[in-house]
Chains A and B, each alone.
Chain A
Amino acid sequence: MVSKAGSNYFLYVTLGLVALLTALFLNGCWDRREINELAFLSSMAVDLAGEQRLLTYEFVRPGATGGGERGGGGTLPHRQATLRSGSGKTIIAANRQITTTLPRRAYLAHTNAVLVGEEMARRGLGEVLDFIDRNPELRRTTLIMLTRGTAREILIKVQGDMETTLGKEISGLRKWVQSSGYGFIPNVNDVFFDLSNEAGTTVLPVLELSPQPFPPHIGTGASSSSGGSRGTGSTEGRVEEPETVRTVHLNGAGLFYHDKLVAWLDKDQVRGWAWVRNKVRRAVLALRCQGNNTKVAVDITEARADVSVDMQGGQLQGKIKLRVEGELLEQQCNLDFTREEAIKSLESQMAAQITAEISSALNQAKMVGADVFGFGGALHRQQPELWHQLQGRWNEEFKKLPVAINVEAKLRRTGMTGRPWQPGAR
């Protein structure tokens, strides 16, 4: 024997190692899941059918994307997704029903977008938001949108030709849509934030199918790869009938009072609302040339809005102050816009057009009493006591709130040239 202490040491070490190794194998199946045993969810649609919650999942089709070997060459990426639907009395029950149709574990952590159907939105966003917020896999950065009719229909019908899944398409859309001024896509966190602020309202963009004519291409895929036979056959090389491809676009938005859909905004009204909420990054205004019917396009490069509520003579008075800067980017007439008065007239046109858009959106919102412009918040910040008095009936107050819109437009640049090009100008 070596010594008593020594043998104890070995005993303890051995026992410890055995315990550790056993523990390693005892954990069983708790959290471990191979990445290739997951079905990655890309987007989902939540609808209401009677009392049933209808859930439609769009999964990335396993093995269809990436993987180096496949996907090379110049073929268009088709939509490589697969759909599963389930229904139940609750969303999570519908989710469990989908599980019974899947050979893999539905993995929600990479979900890009949630589409909410019109019925569901009218019933209330609350349960959808709750489902997303409680689920440990779903994130608050998931984008959320509204559809006219059922959301399921879009998931089923969309074809898509740029991205492989609708979720990817939507998250791409989000990045660039703000530069049109017409759209924005909030994520779940934004919606939570909006709904829990003073007025308790939010605006969700509407996603719509838009059939796009697909550019005609020559011949079939087989003939284009075998090159030499082109032109010999009579059918090959013929321009085929233009097909349509069903893509999606943003068109308008839904107005939510608390979590319920109460009204729609059309495309221009969305921009009217976006001006006020500082959601316009770039926007194009088509203005009239003086005297004739031709147009001048001005690109808005900067827009800052300021909303306030004042007390004037015992009455609340809302104020929207907007400062925009633009750049002349296109001109169909021959007017010289380097002259000051020409610029001034354009600036007043810009202001008028923006004011019209804003007031159109404002009227729509006032009609349903949904203060999506943040007057409530402004009042809360400016006169907290008054706000606490009015808080309970703010939607009614908002309906009769007079609003002064003050747009200060500036035309800063005229692009890379000054005067328009004219034949024989030199």
Chain B
Amino acid sequence: MLWLWRLLWREATPGKQTSNEHALPITTRLEANIEYLKKTFGRSEDLVIREIELPGNKLALVYLETLIDRDVVQRDILRSLLALQAIPLPGDKARFSRLIRARLTIGDLQEERLWSKIITGLLDGKAVLMVEGYSRCLLLSIEGWEKRPVEEPVNEVSIRGPREGFAENLATNISLIRRRLRAPELRFEAMNLGRRTHTKVVICYLEGLVLKGILEELRRRLQRIDIDGILESGYIEELIEDAPNSPFPQLNRTERPDKLVADLLEGRIAVLTDGTPFALILPGSLISQLHAPDDYYERWPLTIGIRLFRFLGIFIALLLPSLYVALTTFHQEMIPTPLAISIAAQRELVPYPAVVEALIMQVLFEILIEAGIRLPRAIGTAISIVGALVIGEAAVRAGLMSAAMVIVIAATAIASFTIPTFGLSQAVRMLRLPMILLAGFLGLLGIFAGLLVILIHLVSLRSFGEPYLSPLAPFIWEAQKDLVVRVPWWAMLWRPVLTGWRDLWRIKPGLHPFITSRDKNAQDELETQLGEGNGKSVPARKGKKKTGKLARKR
């Protein structure tokens, strides 16, 4: 056994495939360079090598036609180059290259000499212009490909707030952030991750606000990554998070630029990944995943109630079925008498114990949700009808389930969708099953044991140094202003202390909107004018005039 393992191990040593193979510079011979590219890309359909003859010079324009904008090639490159036929060209290749750079109507171009840079450039959608006899070549940025436009975020819906969500294209996403945060301190640090996919990953933060330690740690963890491909930010998340076996998401994810910018302003760091609309935000915490953007946009007293319901929701989502099971199989004395008798009567025909009933319903429900996500949209209604009718109605009629259990599971399902982030919602959903089992075997004792285990786990979690339950444990008094209660903006003086202490004051103190005496006079004036303009409301005008006069006298 051991020898086989060693053999395989030797054969498949990680890191054997190095990315250094294109570490050579290009040659001065155009033929050889084109050969090299042809060899590198092989029989790629979309590799275009366009050779151009100018008096005394030979050039080659190479690009991957699927990644570039053909109009730009024709309009800005070929036409500019052909215009050079009319003028005398310098023999010196460096001067010639400088001339081309001056004449080409391309915004972003740079000179490169290493193959690795050139090949990466080609794969990024740049065109390579090589000149015979010159040891450097020009990389022209003419990227152009099909992009999904900026649309409303699908998973993070909000009633009030911007409707723009991230798209797959990294540049689009960066522009969405830049447009919201017009600060020169906004930094975007790019790196390529993935040995084969070369996915662009961008660290985004606010200089002067971000904590250097966290940033350094993030860079270190990202540079450690050596994987063949990164298709989604989830790959990165799993490779850099603190507790990889935890069910709880330790990095916040979002597809809302406004949420991301709000987090940047709190001193957090975002990681954007090319090819996915989901950005990672770190350090993450449990509490911040229970906050929705609407909370900050809507009127603050109402937010308190809404957040309370949401916090209640997570408890219902986690505990309601297990509480039901525990109460009906162990602690019937805790149920009010009429309800106990009613539940007993409903369960009269149900063949299995309440645990089994709950587990069956729960599993069926999870399957229904999963089916709802996967199924093509056209047959969605059919599934929902089957789900609602069969599980909800027919199962009760047939005596397979009790109506109370259906209500419990339905309430749980609804409550689990009050959690604004899907990752956390999934974690809660999956923890529900063991909780039901514990409740079925040990009653309330089991529920409390399970809760304790979850709580101990949560308290021990860290996300980039920040405790996962951070404003609660450790308890930070100032942060209670944005936990369940969200105080109005004029009272939320500080950034979250753990991440934002380098520039603690978020808002100028004393911005509570109240009317000073000077403002009051101004307002009276204003009302008087408005009253005069609106000539019909005579009594109102009289009243206002009086106050106006009084104000003037004073």
Contacts and interface: CB of A to CB of B under 8 A. Distances in A.
Query: Are chains A and B native binding partners rather than an unrelated pairing?
Result: yes
Contacts of A19: none
B330 interface: yes
A34 B345 CA distance: 12
B353 A65 contact: no
B340 A34 contact: no
A107 B437 CA distance: 24
B2 interface: yes
B403 A40 contact: no
Interface stretch (B97-105, B331-339, B480-488, B529-537): B331-339
B216 interface: no
Contacts of B5: 1
Contacts of B354: 34-35
Interface in A39-68: 40, 60, 62-68
Interface in B432-486: 437, 440-443
A75 interface: no
Interface string B345-373: 11110100110000000000000000000
Nearest to A70: B345
A305 to B, nearest CB: 34
Interface in B352-400: 353-354
Contact of B329 (A27, A33, A67): A33
Interface string B112-143: 00000000000000000000000000000000
A68 to B, nearest CB: 6
Interface string A93-126: 0000000000000010110100000000000000
A352 to B, nearest CB: 44
Most buried by A among B5, B440, B442: B442
B337 A110 contact: yes
A31 interface: yes
Contacts of B440: 32
Contact of A40 (B340, B347, B353, B441): B340
A34 B329 contact: yes
Contacts of B335: 35
A416 interface: no
Interface residues of A, number: 28
Contact of B342 (A1, A33, A65): A65
Interface string A1-33: 100000000000000000000001101000111
B348 A67 contact: yes
A66 B341 contact: yes
A137 interface: yes
A168 B341 CA distance: 12
Interface in B398-412: 403
A24 B335 CA distance: 25
Nearest to B445: A31
Contacts, number: 80
A410 to B, nearest CB: 41
Contact of B347 (A24, A27, A35, A64): A35
A67 B396 CA distance: 11
A36 interface: yes
A262 interface: no
Nearest to A104: B344
B398 to A, nearest CB: 13
A36 B344 contact: yes
A68 B329 CA distance: 21
B358 to A, nearest CB: 12
A377 to B, nearest CB: 34
Given A63-B348, A109-B332, A35 B343 contact: yes
B303 interface: no
B322 interface: no
Contacts of A64: 345
A177 interface: no
Given A36-B347, A40-B337, A60-B341, A31 B441 contact: no
Interface in B22-77: none
A139 B329 CA distance: 19
B345 A110 contact: no
A173 interface: no
Contact of B348 (A31, A40, A62, A139): A62
A181 B338 CA distance: 28
B442 A27 contact: yes
B342 A66 contact: yes
A329 interface: no
Nearest to A67: B345
B304 to A, nearest CB: 36
B347 A34 contact: yes
A34 B325 CA distance: 9
Contacts of B333: 109-110, 137, 139
A66 B332 contact: no
Contacts of B418: none
A164 B337 CA distance: 13
Contacts of A35: 328-329, 332, 335, 340, 343-344, 347, 354
B449 to A, nearest CB: 10
Nearest to B437: A24
A32 B357 CA distance: 15
A174 to B, nearest CB: 14
Contacts of A137: 333
Q: Closest 7 A-B residue pairs measured CB to CB?
A: A66-B342, A109-B333, A36-B347, A67-B345, A35-B328, A63-B348, A66-B345
Given A32-B443, A62-B348, A65-B341, 9 more contacts: A1-B5, A32-B441, A34-B354, A35-B340, A36-B347, A67-B346, A68-B346, A112-B337, A137-B333
22 contacts: A1-B2, A1-B5, A24-B442, A31-B330, A32-B329, A35-B328, A35-B340, A35-B344, A35-B354, A38-B344, A40-B341, A60-B341, A62-B344, A63-B348, A64-B345, A66-B341, A66-B342, A66-B343, A66-B345, A110-B337, A112-B337, A137-B333
Interface of B: 2, 5, 328-330, 332-333, 335, 337-338, 340-348, 350, 353-354, 403, 437, 440-443
Interface of A: 1, 24-25, 27, 31-36, 38, 40, 60, 62-68, 70, 107, 109-110, 112, 137, 139, 168
